Amino acid sequence: MSAQPVNPNLPPDHVTVFIDGVELAAPKNSMIIHAADKAGIPIPRFCYHDKLAIAANCRMCLVDTEVGGRAAPKPSPACATPVMDGLKVFTRNERALKSQRNVMEFLLANHPLDCPICDQGGECELQDVSMGYGRSVSRFAERKRVVPDEDIGPLVATEMTRCIQCTRCVRFTAEIAGTYELGGMYRGENLQIGTFDGKPLTTELSGNVIDVCPVGALTNKVFQFKARPWELTARESLGYHDALGSNLFLHVRRGDVLRTVPRDNEAVNECWLSDRDRYSHQGLYAEDRAQRPLVKDNGEWREASWDEALARAAKILRDNGGDNLGVLVHPATSNEEGALLARLAEALGSGNLDHRIGQHDLTDAAVAETFAMPVAEIDRADVVVIVGSNLRHELPLVHQRVRKAFTRGAKVHAINPVDFDFTFDLAGKRIVAPSQLAGALADEALREAAKAGHHVALIVGALAENGPHAAAIRAAAKAFAEATGAKLCRIPQGANAVGLARHGVLPSARDARAMLDDARGAYIVYGIEPGLDFADSESALRALGAAQVVAFSHYACRSTKAVADVILPIGLLPEIDATLTNLDGLSQAASAGGKLPGDTRAGWRVLRALGGELGAKGFEFTDLDGLRRGIAPRSVTPAAGRAPKAAGEGLELAVSTAIYRSDATVRRAPALQSHPLNLAPRAVLNPNDAAALGLADGAVAKFGAGAGTATLPVALSAKVAAGTVWIESGHGATAPLGAGRVQAGRA
């Protein structure tokens, strides 16, 4: 073979290959399957997945190769055979096809013939490939093997007799999720895929094993036996439970959302989806879903027509305009609804408008900002510093990006009040009480470690942003970024916090905390579950309970009914056309998938009708396109908020959001509530602090804060910083505590 390249005009890192007679340029060290895929030349495969390491264990991609006129002695797996200059590849000659058909026959030898009852039927890679490469008659006369199933949790259903040992699921949990929960057991024909300990999957990304499985061995337990794929219509939508805005498809039948699957977007979620976004659609159909307008007469609720409910709401707002009105907005509210709420507040003369309902310290007038380092670049960072965040629960797919950076050699450091479980090793960590987070960022050793990197990300999360020391931590983070060259990435506290800030859903007078501390005469509460969504639920319920409240609500829950005078039922994101702006500042559109239940209306329609009832300016449009044409960014610089209340004495509270209690819809998804990561409310203390208080593991203790008192079971963990009590928000039992310090003692 000549040492001269076949095509001397190619870049030095490319070679020339010929696949089925087509001349192609391919990067050196890439595989045959990469070149074929790029050229659109089909090669069958099962174990290969472009996001997973190459395993080459299914052998379905066998091809015939030839170099310098000499044929290879046997077929080669296209996924594991590197290209070389002058390589000739034959994917459809007799030798290649015979090899592929023989492999197909072996794969089907033990596979059960249960396609009519398999949930994967109609979208099964094995079905598709066997149509092209399978035999019409089986020559296998022996008894088929049977593999016992194991229960791996509430989200993924198993039928392991169908498994073809492609190991995609094993590689996913090892490489992407980082939990190493699945593996191969036994050998030869007895090989089985499963969990080694027989326990449920604990990864927050477990639903992705369904997507990577090429057969019906792993399927969606929530969707199981609900419908066939050809009965479903796909609607483009977005995840709305965190600020990433994962792209997804809603699979809908006759207006009911039956399944959610990822939609590829390399810049956002790649091809993955968190379990929170995948299974939350169950919450759309909760028993307490608000389906008809409700009005309260003499303390009793009754259904009303839209005209009557809107008239009642308009009267409340007319009677309580100006500074007497507060407008509180959930941070997952869409851009269109947010823009109308800003118009409505302006028309009513109120500057008391805010979406920052979960934050205690806004003395620096902070608003959500876009990441200085785009999400797609985080996996190429060489140093990552995480401050005040249980990132794995807060942004599961950003956590996965950090893991990818770690596997490429990045050094990851963490400053937290709790030594949270990450799926990567930490090069350094400081576990300190919440009040010391800002000071830890001034650590010279940490700064030197960051300066050693060329691509450094500083990620600041909810524990920092929502606590009583948030302003100091934000200032310290900014100083750290300026001193080290790190890119500051403050996680927006809400799925559309960036979009709402851009559209002026911010106060020119009182912020959320101020308008609840100094109760207003009336409030608009938009998309909020009052008992669980506020930073300080006790003070919020007191203020709302003493005022007149117009609630635009998805759920007619107990806390909403306790404080509202009118409930106007509005659609959730999967049921409406809307846009959200994610943490990269990317505005993304969602299409209506599910039908609106009962007499529910899209929020923008209800706001338009209410604006018309009030005769407000800016509500003259007739459709969504007209609304969008009139929307423009509104620049509002909020005033500095009040300083949090004095700390007092006792243990410091570290409050993180429970992964499956983050919003009203997630809290109503039964499968997610059954997940192992969804723990019961508890207070976790450092063993030394517990001993000083005379509290044992499993004891029940009373925790008193300025906001209220909670009685919680105690758990002990050395992972909690000294002087700190760690609780998770989103539970009714922990809601009274707010933030700051607590006095603890036996119940």
Residue 643: what pLDDT?
A: 84
CATH of domain 651-746: 2.40.40.20
Whole-model pTM?
A: 0.95
356 pLDDT exceeds 60? yes
Q: Report the percentage of the chain scoring pLDDT > 90.
A: 87
pLDDT tens-place string over residues 494-552? 999 999 999 999 999 999 999 999 999 999 999 999 999 999 999 999 999 999 999 99
pLDDT attached to residue 1: 44
Helix (H/G/I), strand (E/B), else coil: 182: strand
Using CA atoms, how far apart are residues 440 and 435, in angstroms rounded to an integer? 10
Taken in order 218, 219, 222, 225, is the CA torsion positive or negative? Answer: negative
Q: Can you tell me which residue has the tokens 């005022």?
A: 547
Q: Which residue has the tokens 């990300």?
A: 457
Name the CATH superfamily for 375-490: Dimethylsulfoxide Reductase, domain 2 (3.40.228.10)
Using only C-alpha atoms, the chain has a radius of gyration, in whole angstroms, of 28
Mean pLDDT, range 627-647, rounded to an integer: 85
The pLDDT of 645-655, averaged and rounded, is 84
Domain ranges of the chain: 14-107, 327-364+502-629, 375-490, 651-746
Pick the CATH number of 14-107 from 3.10.20.740, 3.10.290.20, 3.40.50.300, 2.60.40.1220: 3.10.20.740
Do residues 567 and 553 touch, judged by C-beta distance below 8 A? yes
Instruction: Please tell me the predicted confidence (pLDDT) of residue 648.
Output: 72
Reduced to 3 DSSP states, what percent helix, strand and coil does the chain have, rounded to the nearest 5?
A: 30, 25, 45
Using the Cα atoms of residue 521, residue 527, residue 531 and residue 533 in order, give the sign of their dihedral: negative
Long-range Cβ pairs for the range 195-200 (8 Å, 24+): 195/150, 195/152, 198/150, 199/676, 200/151, 200/152, 200/153, 200/154, 200/675, 200/676
- CA atoms of 397 and 418, how far apart (whole Å): 21
Average pLDDT over residues 129-154: 88
Q: CA 130 to CA 97: how far, in whole Å?
A: 13
| 22 CB-side CA count, 13 A | 16
Q: How much is the pLDDT for 646?
A: 62
The percentage of residues in the chain with a pLDDT greater than 70, rounded to a whole number, is: 99
- Residue 647 has what pLDDT? 63
Give the residue-averaged pLDDT of 3-23: 84
The predicted-structure confidence for 431-444, as pLDDT tens digits, reads as follows: 999 999 999 999 99
Cβ atoms < 10 Å from Cβ of 29: 11
Average pLDDT, stretch 276-284? 97
Q: What is the pLDDT of residue 680?
A: 95
CATH class of 327-364+502-629: alpha beta
Would you state the pLDDT for residue 212?
Answer: 97
Q: In this predicted model, what pLDDT tens digit does every residue of 226-257 receive, in sequence order?
A: 999 999 999 999 999 999 999 999 999 999 99
At residue 139, does pLDDT exceed 80? Answer: yes
